[in-house]
A = this chain, B = another copy of it.
Amino acid sequence: MGRRKIEMKMVTDRSCRQVTFSKRRTGLFKKANELATLCAVQIAIIVFSPGGKPFSFGNPGVEPVVGRFLNRGDEHHDGQQRPQRLPRDSGGRRRRNQELKLGVSFFPPKYKLFQLG
């Protein structure tokens, strides 16, 4: 999406990598904001810069969304459709391939979030 097409490999130059990170992080958060607005959905993004600095975006906030995700087994879906249980058989292979391709997980988490204090 620029003057030239770039390879999908790590940008070797530290400075260029940081610039690329900043630009693309901005673009990603903007897209996330659009998705939340257009579709009225909850979303959270957490990303650490090459320097280890944390950035996040959340609608309505990071922690509510993370909490809902991690605890979704116990969740009460008022007025909303419950997430369908995924079939183990048909379509499994294709879903698996899609997971590997996009890094998406359709499987339940193994962790739970607790607030301290």
User: Does A77 interact with chain B (Cβ within 8 Å)?
Assistant: yes
User: Does A79 interact with chain B (Cβ within 8 Å)?
Assistant: yes
Q: Known contacts A37-B10, A110-B116; decide if A56 and B76 are in contact (CB<8 Å).
A: yes
Instruction: Say how far A20's CB is from chain B's closest CB, in angstroms.
Output: 6
Instruction: Say how far A80's CB is from chain B's closest CB, in angstroms.
Output: 4
The answer to whether A56 and B113 touch across the interface, beta carbons within 8 angstroms, is: no
Copy total for this chain:
2
Q: Known contacts A39-B10, A41-B48; decide if A81 and B26 are in contact (CB<8 Å).
A: yes
A42: B residues at CB distance < 8 A: 47-48
Among B24, B65, B70, B116, point to the contact of A48 (Cβ < 8 A). Answer: B65
The answer to whether A46 and B66 touch across the interface, beta carbons within 8 angstroms, is: yes
**When A and B form their complex, which 5 residue pairs have the shortest distance between CB atoms, in order from nearest?**
A53-B83, A43-B47, A52-B80, A21-B39, A51-B81
11 CB-based A-B contacts, threshold 8 Å: A11-B38, A43-B48, A48-B68, A51-B80, A53-B84, A53-B86, A54-B75, A57-B104, A58-B103, A62-B79, A63-B109
